[in-house]
Amino acid sequence: MSNNSSRRQWLRNTTAALAGVSLAPAIFATEKERYRAEGIILLNGNENPYGPSTAARKAMTESLGNSNRYPDDAVNTLRQQLAEFNGVEKENILMGAGSSEIIGLVLLAAGGGGYRRGYIMTAEPSYKIWHTQAEAIGYDFIQIPLNKERKYDMDKFSSYQSKFNAQLFYICNPNNPTGTFVEPKELEDFINRSRSGHVLVDEAYTEYPDIPSLAQYAIKVPKVIVAKTFSKIYGLAGARIGYAIAHSETIKRLASIQAWPNANVSMATAAAASAALKDQGFVKDCREKAGLARQMCYDCFKQLSLEYIPSHTNFILFNIDKITGDFTKRMEAKNIFVQFRNHFGGKWCRVTMGTIDEMKIFCSVLKSIAG
Amino acid sequence: MMGETNRYPFNVPSLQSAKKTLGDYYKVGEDQVLITAGSGEGLAMLARHFNKGNIVTADITFGVLPNTAKKIGSKVIEVPLTKEKMHDLPAMMKAINNETQLVYICNPANPTATILKADELKRFCEGASKKTVVLIDEAYNEFLDNPDSQSMIGLIEKNPNILVIKTFSKIHAMAGLRIGFLIGHPTLIKKLQPDYFQSSQLAVSVLSLNAAMASLNDEPHKLMSKQKNEAARKYTMDEMKKAGIQFIPSYTNFIFYPVKSYPGEYSADIFEKHKIIMRSNKYGDGQWARVSVGTIDEMKQFIKVIGDPKNNMAAR
């Protein structure tokens, strides 16, 4: 097996893992086998191709020498900084090793901290990598189809909640994989009417459409938890850092589930996040570039008469029913890695916005395959 | 690697071999390794996983696992240490009942810094694992003279009920990187994996994991850490003995000593008056302090403070 084909196998496996199909088995790659040298374009993980920012890299380098110490102080300072940034108090912030950890904590908290059975109401399609963990805890899912505009259907959520006594609502806003969002005000109205014990609003992508966070609302309503991440526009997916914003009592309950509150974030990661947060110029730049990349893709989809869902994020879901053969395999043959999705009774592809140059290549490859 | 922190761990090829690297080092399969964000994260996860019956451990021991278990309403049977602050293995064996799901032993022990004889612990593990899962926390194993012969990892191959948890926070000096890992039988490791969000490795920074893998085989650095710790620890214990200060002989990178008659909160006072940061706690038999072994210069400072009877910072 050549290096290239072993890498493809590895990427296929990880793509399967991303789709929640199976866990990625280890495929061995050496430093020399780096994908960049091979021109591989990763459009499969909704990562930020430009990150981390220069400021974040510098901060990481400078902090490495302190890695022998537990990160308490660095993380404490970061919490204060995040509180100010979000216009809340430090007591409203809980750090996690990615918003993935925050989601896990909310799953445990909503279940009473241990392993209990209950319902989680969420949408279909939506972000679902946490489902495995929820199943291990003992939850069942009520998955409400998106509405015609491919948005979360809050009216249906309302009508279904009387049939199922859900312990938790999970709302991904903007939604992954559709890139659509519900107006924050509409969400607040829905939550005011809802009876669920907990509402988790996953705001991984809010910085792309630049819509208001539910942070201010969450700190007043104890059942609401907002999950934020540095994995997307801040370009730090591999550094593993996210946080919760909630009422201080809710934060206390979530913190009590962690081995040590706020302690799963590495020293270098805390430094990187702190620097990244200050570098809002980088954020703005990435937002604009994602917008340009989306427009480039839309033009391409229109030319090819491919249906797509207008997105407000760094990814787009487009329909590939018309394209013959194994789409992901055909893209991989051209060194491009995307996610295949079965949604709305058809075949779709979720493509992450890479750099402008990467998207030019993506569009020309797509034209050669679908044209 | 810094430039790749925008990629999720699954998109960083060099990290896909981390479990195999660890497995090779400890002579187990990669399917026997579960990487966590520090061993504390692993301990909390295990407390949540084994939540149906009771958990047997020592009183006192490292708190993360028993405290997490208590918080979620699990029963924790805490077997008192012996007078010498050693694990009381016969009493722990007796405490195991039909409801016991997990036995947790930290060896070398935290916060007491004692060790169990390897053959006694092995016998205990073999006996107890017939009834329940036995978890040995080896965070401080590498500070021992014969770490390999003191480790229980060798028992795992034939015994699906034995788990060992380790960390990069101690001998590897990477507490701030947050990397720990579990070694167990493939069947048990497989059962634990869904307790995590997609993969436990998703909680670990790519930068940290890369650094940890580089440190794993850095024998000179580990030897240096061990020797410097030994020298500073010996100095500290010798000086404490000379000054007639009570302490529990240490096999780790910290020393546990009683300050029973100390009137206030010891750690708060020693920080305020002498700028030394350490831990103290009130137990059933009074207040105890735990000092980490720093550099030799730092320990000289420490001895200067507690060695001076006027400071009243030690029990004689």
Question: Tens of pLDDT along B161-179?
Answer: 999 999 999 999 999 999 9
Mean pLDDT estimate for chain B: 93
What mean pLDDT, rounded, does chain A reach? Answer: 89
Pair B147, B269 in one domain: no
With 0-12 CB in 10 A as exposed, 13-18 as middle and 19+ as buried, what is A196?
buried
Helix (H/G/I), strand (E/B), else coil: A332: helix
| Domain end call among A279, A308, A343 | A279
Q: How far is CA A363 from CA A54, A272, B140, B230, in A?
A: 29, 33, 54, 62
B2 at interface of A, judged by CB pairs closer than 8 A? yes
End-to-end CA distance of chain B: 52
Q: Report how far residue B40's alpha carbon sits from residue B31's, in angstroms, rounded to the nearest whole number.
A: 21
Nearest Cβ partner of B8 from A103, A108, A238? Answer: A238
Q: How is residue B175 written in tokens?
A: 């507490």
Same domain, B173 and B289: no
- Residues 186-205 (B) with a CB less than 8 A from some CB of A: 193-199, 202-205
- Select from B183, B201, B216 the last residue of a domain: B216
Q: How confident is the model at residue B200 (pLDDT cuts 50, 70, 90)?
A: low
A203 in the same domain as A259: yes
- A230 pLDDT higher than 50: yes
Residues A165, A70: one domain? Answer: yes
pLDDT above 70 for B72: yes
Contact with chain B for residue A39, Cβ under 8 A: no
Same-domain pairing of A208 and A349: no
pLDDT band of A33, cuts 50, 70, 90: very low
Secondary structure, 3-state, chain B: CHHHCCCCHHHCHHHHHHHHHHHHHCCCCHHHEEEECCHHHHHHHHHHHCCCCEEEEEECCCCHHHHHHHHCCCEEEEEECCCCCCCCHHHHHHHCCCCEEEEEEECCCCCCCCCCCHHHHHHHHHHHCCCCEEEEECCCHHHCCCHHHHCCHHHHCCCCCEEEEEECCCCCCCHHHCCEEEECCHHHHHHHHHHCCCCHHHHCCHHHHHHHHHHHCCHHHHHHHHHHHHHHHHHHHHHHHHCCCCCECCCCCEEEEECCCCCCCHHHHHHHHHCCCCEEEEECCEEEEEEECCCHHHHHHHHHHHHCHHHCCCCC
Average pLDDT over residues B157-162: 94
| A34 & A62 share domain | no
Which value, to the nearest 10 degrees, does the dihedral of the CA atoms of residues B41, B44, B50, B52 take?
Answer: -150
Residues in chain B: 316
Same-domain check for residues A128 and A43: no
Looking at the complex, report in whole angstroms how far the Cα of residue A303 sits from the nearest Cα belonging to chain B. 31
Has residue B266 got a pLDDT over 60?
yes
Q: Is residue B269 part of a domain?
A: yes
Residue A58 confidence (pLDDT): 94
Q: Is the pLDDT of residue B300 over 90?
A: yes
Nearest to A266 among B4, B173, B176 (CB): B176
With an 8 Å Cβ cutoff, is A231 touching chain B?
A: yes
Same domain, B239 and B295: yes
State the average pLDDT over residues A25-38. Answer: 41
**Phi and psi for A170 in degrees, rounded to 5?**
-110, 120
| Predicted local confidence at residue B199, as pLDDT | 65
Residues of B in contact with A64 (CB under 8 A): 211
If you average pLDDT over residues A67-95, what whole number do you get?
A: 95
B234 and B186 within one domain: no
Using CB atoms and an 8 Å cut-off, which of residues 104-143 of chain A contact chain B? 104, 108, 112-115, 129-130, 132-133, 135-136
pLDDT band per the 50, 70, 90 thresholds, residue B71: confident
Question: Which A residues, 71 through 110, put their C-beta within 8 Å of a C-beta on chain B?
Answer: 71, 74, 97-98, 100-101, 103-104, 108
pLDDT tens-digit readout, B82-103: 999 999 999 999 999 999 999 9
The domain in which residue B12 lies consists of 2-216
CA distances from residue A85 to A88, A302, B7 in whole angstroms, order as listed: 8, 39, 25
User: Is A279 at the interface with chain B, CB within 8 A?
Assistant: no
Confidence of residue A116 (pLDDT cuts 50, 70, 90): low
Q: Residue B137 in contact with residue B153, Cβ under 8 Å?
A: no
pLDDT at residue A22 greater than cutoff 80: no
Shared domain check, A361 and A338: yes
- Evaluated on CA atoms B200, B203, B206, B209, the torsion sign reads negative
Strands B133-137 and B162-167: parallel
Average pLDDT over every residue of A87-95: 98
In-domain check, residue B316: no
- Are residues B63 and B36 located together in one domain of the fold? yes
Q: B240 CB near a chain A CB, below 8 Å?
A: no
Return the CATH number at B67. 3.40.640.10
| pLDDT above 80 (res B123) | yes
Chain B residues in contact with A104 by the CB 8 A cut-off are 196-197
A144 and A265, same structural domain?
A: yes
Using a CB-CB distance cutoff of 8 angstroms, which residues of chain B are in contact with residue A127? Answer: none
Give A-chain residues touching B10 at CB under 8 angstroms.
Answer: 14, 17-18, 24, 45
CB atoms within 10 A of CB A310: 13
Q: Which is more confidently placed, B273 or A20?
A: B273
A114 with B176: Cβ contact below 8 A:
no
Does position A37 have pLDDT exceeding 50, yes or no?
Answer: no
Per-residue pLDDT, averaged over A106-128, amounts to: 84
The verdict on A274 and A285 lying in the same domain is no
Cβ within 8 Å, pair A45-B10: yes
Which residues face A172 on adjacent strands? A202
Interface check for A18 against chain B (CB to CB < 8 A): the answer is yes
The mean-pLDDT minimum among A82-86, A121-125, A129-133 falls in A129-133
* A75 and A92 share one domain: yes
In a domain, B19, yes or no: yes
Domain end point (choices B216, B248, B270)? B216
CB A103 within 8 A of CB A227: yes
Interface check for B97 against chain A (CB to CB < 8 A): the answer is no
State the pLDDT at residue A163. 83
Residues B206 and B241 in one domain: no
Token pair of B39, please?
Answer: 């061993």
Check pLDDT > 70 for residue A114: no
Answer whether B54 touches A (CB < 8 Å).
no
Q: What is the pLDDT of residue A32?
A: 35
Residue B54 is assigned to a structural domain of this protein: yes
What pLDDT is recorded for position B201?
Answer: 67
Cα distance from B42 to chain A (closest Cα, Å)? Answer: 9
- Do A226 and A312 lie in one domain? The reply is no
pLDDT of residue B9: 85
Say whether pLDDT at B143 is over 50: yes
Contact at CB, A69 and B176, closer than 8 angstroms: yes
Given a contact cutoff of 8 angstroms between Cβ atoms, the answer to whether B87 and B81 are in contact is yes
Q: Mean pLDDT across the stretch B167-194?
A: 92
A101 CA: distance to closest CA in chain B (Å): 7
Which whole number is the average pLDDT over A166-179?
96
Instruction: Name residue A118's beta-bridge partners.
Output: A139
pLDDT at residue A11 tops 50 = no
| Residues B71 and B17 grouped into a single domain | yes
**Same domain assignment for residues A285 and A270:** no
Report the share of chain A in percent with pLDDT over 90.
Answer: 76
Residue type, A106: V
B5, A115: Cβ pair inside 8 Å? no
Given a cut of 80, whether residue A109 has pLDDT beyond it is yes
Q: Which 24-53 residues of chain B touch chain A by CB within 8 A?
A: 30, 37-38, 40-41, 43-44, 48, 51
Mean pLDDT of the region A21-30: 33
Strand, coil or helix: what is B170?
coil
Confidence (pLDDT) at A72: 87
Same domain, A202 and A77: yes
The average pLDDT across B178-188 equals 95
Query: Does the beta-carbon distance from B175 to A48 stay under 8 Å?
Result: no
pLDDT of residue A27: 34
Q: Which residues of B touch A103 (CB under 8 A)?
A: 197
What are the pLDDT digits (tens) for A264-316?
Answer: 899 999 999 999 999 999 999 999 999 999 999 999 999 999 999 999 999 99
Expressed as residue numbers, the domain containing A318 is 3-52+281-370
- Report whether B56 contacts B50 (CB < 8 A): no
What pLDDT is attached to residue B62?
97
Q: Do A52 and B5 lie within an 8 Å CB cutoff?
A: yes
Query: Given A257, A279, A301, which residue is the final one in a domain?
Result: A279
Of all residues in chain A, the one with the smallest CA distance to B180 is A264
Share of chain A above pLDDT 70, in %: 88
Q: Report whether pLDDT(B40) > 50.
A: yes
Residues B184 and B234 in one domain: no
Report how many domains make up chain A: 2
Q: Bridge-partner residues for B103, per DSSP?
A: B56, B134
Question: What chain A residue is nearest to B33 in terms of C-alpha separation?
Answer: A26
d(CA B39, CA B44): 9
Same domain, B140 and B249: no
* Residue ending a domain, choose from B155, B190, B216: B216
Q: How many domains does chain B have?
A: 2
Q: Which candidate from B3, B41, B73 shows the least CB-CB separation from A114?
A: B73
In angstroms, the CA B315 to CA B300 distance is 18
* Residue B155 confidence (pLDDT): 97
A340 Cα distance to chain centroid: 17
Are residues B117 and B259 both part of a single domain?
no
Whether residue B203 sits in one domain with residue B73: yes
The pLDDT-based confidence of B198 (bands split at 50, 70, 90) is low
Q: Which residue has the tokens 């003191």?
A: B150
> Any idea which of A19-28, A312-321, B11-20, B54-63 has the lowest mean pLDDT?
A19-28
Q: Which of B16, B38, B43 is closest, CB to CB, to A264?
A: B38
Q: Do B2 and A60 touch (CB under 8 A)?
A: yes
User: What's the average model confidence in pLDDT over A338-353?
Assistant: 97
Question: What DSSP element (H or E) covers A2?
Answer: none
pLDDT at A5: 44
For residue B2, pLDDT over 90 is answered with no
Chain B nearest C-alpha distance from A257 (Å): 7
- Residue A165: which CATH number? 3.40.640.10
Q: How confident is the model at residue A353 (pLDDT cuts 50, 70, 90)?
A: very high
Q: Of A241, A262, A279, which residue sits at a domain end?
A: A279
Q: What is the CATH number of the domain that holds A298?
A: 3.90.1150.10
Do B168 and B85 share a structural domain? yes
Give the three-state DSSP class for A66.
Answer: helix
CATH code of the domain containing B266:
3.90.1150.10
